[in-house]
Amino acid sequence: MFWGEVGPDAGEPDSSRGPAGHDEVNRARGAGFFGWPYFVADNKAYRDYDFRAKKPGPPFDPQHPMNDSPNNTGARELPPAQPAFIWYPYGNSTDFPLTGNGGRNAMAGPVYYCDKYPANTRLPDYYNGKLITYDWMRGWMMAITLDTLGDFGRMEPICDSIRLSRPMDMLVDKNGSIWVLEYGTQWFSSNPDARLSRIDYVRGNRPPIPALQADKIAGAAPCTVVFSAGKTKDYDDDRLKYQIDFGDGSPALAIINNKIMVVEAGTGHRKKAKTNPADSLVHTYTQPGTYEAVLTVTDAQGARATVKQKISVGNEPPLVRWDFDGKNRSFYEPGTILNYQLLVSDLEDGNLESGGIPPAAVATSIDYLETGFDITQIAQGHQAAMQAAEYARGKILVDRSDCKTCHAVDRQINGPAYQAIATRYRNNEFAVRDLSQKVIKGGAGNWGQTVMSAHPQVSEADAGEMVRWILTLGAPPKPKQTLPVKGAYELAVSATQTKGKKPAPGTFIFNASYKDRGSRSQSPLDGSETIALRPAFQQAEQADSMSKNVRTYRLSNGDTVVLNELKHNSFFVFRHVDLRGIYSAAMSLGGGDKNYKYSGGRIELRLDGPDGRLVGSVTIPPGQPARHMQFSEFTAEVNQAAWPKDGSFHDLYFVVKNEKNPSQFVTAVDWVRFNL
């Protein structure tokens, strides 16, 4: 028999009491003693604590455990404690690293025996005899291989492409399919993602996975929307048939053999349409209202699937844009005076220039960040329009954690609402310090009997960012302006902005938003733009992303950190880049080191992908043997004719090339400077 066992909440070991808390999967092959409450995990021992004297005694002995509780009515001498089958703490496990970290709630599912199920519906024979375990908090499923003695052999993910939402029970039906009961994201809540799921192993044909995108989901009437089904997938590469119903009573469109046909209402008959390519389906909604477009995709075997997209017609979203007087909107030179002007317009309300939109109705802010945030998340304005961009990283960290299991922004679940926390602690000067420690170590008593789990895997810096975001919630919704809608701003850093530390060029976040007045048929809509201006000089390790085999390397003779182990087709990328006014990119490249040999080659600048449009390149000579790495500056001239003139942002890839020696390291990269 296998079972999951939830352990105590202790985030850290305590020398006077015992080990940190662990969750366990246990196995019984007969009657026995499985450790609790004297031992946890692989028989990590608690201490025999004297609660009257408040003094710790010796650790319990797993070979001779004694139950000397005054409440004990059974055996005093217990059998030797059996260690857990699998165990893991809040933090990363060195014994079972695939279990991850964070909140924990170990669950043991069935052992899968293939001979119990029909051959055409069961899992592959590979899974015969494997135990399935899962975790309610972490959302994974693992297949555990048992050795010939029935002991732990190895662990591996199963169905890891499926995003489970708090799996809490599991069984295998008579066909060999796995049924999973999913609780949903939040405790004690009517979760929209609560569900009963069935996982089938599909032999032969697999159904398509439809995707429907719209270039706009709201607009004034008449509203013209461009739909695309281009990201629809079929893992069998079948020829697909598409049909889209726009939801307004107009004829549906069918796409067959890459030709678009009109489906005549009531008859189902199709006739060829004079319209756009299959990945660009244009439709105009003539009347205000809320519509649901439905895409149905059918493969060659008749398997079909649908997806929906809501379109709101009757109110055009406002347009908000920062005008930097022709300057680059991604990079800056420190000390530059930036002349800016906000352009805000709304089809129904008017614009700033005419006075239809008063300046006081536009929320503006400018913030300074050092490093360590997701430039794409901030630059694309994924945060709520009224939320200061300074706290964007904290919001991202909270969203990626298990915090939302116990907390919601505006209501109590298991723990207090974030807004309630903000109200209680916003004016407490020690709030960030104290609450950060609660995030890491856990706690209880401040909000009744609720216990907060520990998160020892969260760093103090990240916990502080999370708390700062929480403390911004619940503030009055009145638009706040920290700079006027037109003016000049010096892109320089003061010691105040860096909290007394030596100023270093960082990122300036310009944020502006406007909420329109809505219409008779539609609610008000927000429009916003967030611009992240970062220094034109960037350390290479600050790149937004890089290919999986690239490593950072600290030189032995100083604090210099470089990107290293760059082979043919390796890359690093700066995302959301405005190309205007960038005529070259200079790079400091390392060519010799006692630990590495470099073959040389070239670095290509490409747009929106490692094989995207080529806009520049530079040749790199082979590195010469040296005890310490030697650096030289190389400049990749930008082909201005190759720059897109669309005014939009692009991802800029630095792709390393050496076709003749693809297995050798090409160079090391210290920094990149965008020459404006």
Mean pLDDT to the nearest integer, 421-445: 81
Q: What percent of the chain has pLDDT over 70?
A: 90
Q: What angle do CA 287, 289, 294 make, to 5 degrees?
A: 100
Q: Shortest CA distance to 359 belongs to which of 368, 371, 351?
A: 351
Mean pLDDT to the nearest integer, 368-388: 49
Say if residue 383's pLDDT is above 50. Answer: no
Say if residue 500's pLDDT is above 80. Answer: no
Which token pair is 419? 């807004």
> Residue 263 in contact with residue 251, Cβ under 8 Å?
yes
The rounded distance, in Å, linking the Cα atoms of 291 and 282 is 15
Q: In Å, how far are 103, 182, 221 from 170, measured between CA atoms?
A: 20, 9, 49
Q: Shortest CA distance to 234 belongs to which of 299, 280, 279?
A: 299
| 524 vs 371, more confident | 524
Mean pLDDT to the nearest integer, 44-71: 93
Helix axes 418-425, 460-471, angle to 10 degrees: 90
What is the DSSP secondary structure assignment for residue 640, as one 8-state letter?
A: G
| 86 vs 550, more confident | 86
* Range of weakest confidence among 33-42, 184-193, 430-439: 184-193
* pLDDT value, residue 427: 73
C-alpha torsion sign, points 412, 415, 419, 425: positive
Mean pLDDT to the nearest integer, 183-201: 84
Phi first, then psi: what are they for 424, rounded to 5°?
Answer: -70, -40
Q: Measured in whole angstroms, how far is the alpha carbon of residue 627 from the centre of its chain?
A: 41
Say if residue 388's pLDDT is above 50. Answer: no
| 389 vs 669, more confident | 669
* pLDDT value, residue 369: 73
What is the DSSP secondary structure assignment for residue 389, as one 8-state letter?
A: G
C-alpha torsion sign, points 285, 286, 292, 296: negative
Query: 3-20, pLDDT tens digit by residue?
Result: 999 999 888 899 999 999
Mean pLDDT to the nearest integer, 560-581: 91
* pLDDT value, residue 476: 47
* Range of weakest confidence among 97-101, 442-446, 487-491: 442-446
Say if residue 262's pLDDT is above 80. Answer: no
The rounded distance, in Å, linking the Cα atoms of 644 and 497 is 36
Q: Shortest CA distance to 589 belongs to which of 557, 637, 653, 635?
A: 635
Q: Give buried/exposed letters for 430-468 (b at 16+ CB in 10 A, else e).
A: ebbeebbebbbbbbeeebeeeebbbbbbbeeebbbbbbb
Domains and CATH numbers, the chain: 105-199 (no CATH), 213-313 (2.60.40.10), 319-535 (1.10.760.10), 537-675 (2.60.120.260)
Phi first, then psi: what are they for 578, rounded to 5°?
Answer: -85, 125
Beta partners for 367? 509
The neighbour count for residue 84, using CB atoms within 10 Å, is 27
The rounded distance, in Å, linking the Cα atoms of 219 and 213 is 16
Query: 283-337, pLDDT tens digit by residue?
Result: 999 999 999 999 999 999 999 999 999 999 999 999 999 999 989 999 999 999 9
Q: What percent of the chain has pLDDT over 90?
A: 56
The rounded distance, in Å, linking the Cα atoms of 437 and 622 is 50
* pLDDT value, residue 268: 55
Q: Shortest CA distance to 652 belongs to which of 634, 669, 674?
A: 674
Identity of the highest mean pLDDT range in 80-94, 386-400, 417-431, 474-488: 80-94
Which token pair is 344? 């805000």
* pLDDT value, residue 269: 57
Say if residue 178's pLDDT is above 90. Answer: yes
* pLDDT value, residue 387: 42
Say if residue 278's pLDDT is above 90. Answer: no
Q: How confident is the model at residue 501 (pLDDT cuts 50, 70, 90)?
A: low
Say if residue 65's pLDDT is above 60. Answer: yes
Strands 526-535 and 331-332: parallel
Q: How confident is the model at residue 276 (pLDDT cuts 50, 70, 90)?
A: very low
What is the DSSP secondary-structure string of 74-141?
Answer: S-SBPPPBPPPSEEE-SS--SSSGGG-SSS--EEEEEEE-GGGS-TTTSPPGGGTTEEEEEETTT--E
Mean pLDDT to the nearest integer, 425-437: 80
The rounded distance, in Å, linking the Cα atoms of 526 and 317 is 7
Strands 218-219 and 304-313: parallel
Name 172's Cβ contacts closer than 8 Å, sequence gap at least 6: 110, 112, 117, 178, 179
Name 503's Cβ contacts closer than 8 Å, sequence gap at least 6: 493, 494, 495, 497
| 271 vs 584, more confident | 584
The neighbour count for residue 659, using CB atoms within 10 Å, is 9
Q: What angle do CA 74, 80, 81 make, to 5 degrees?
A: 90
Q: How confident is the model at residue 114 (pLDDT cuts 50, 70, 90)?
A: very high
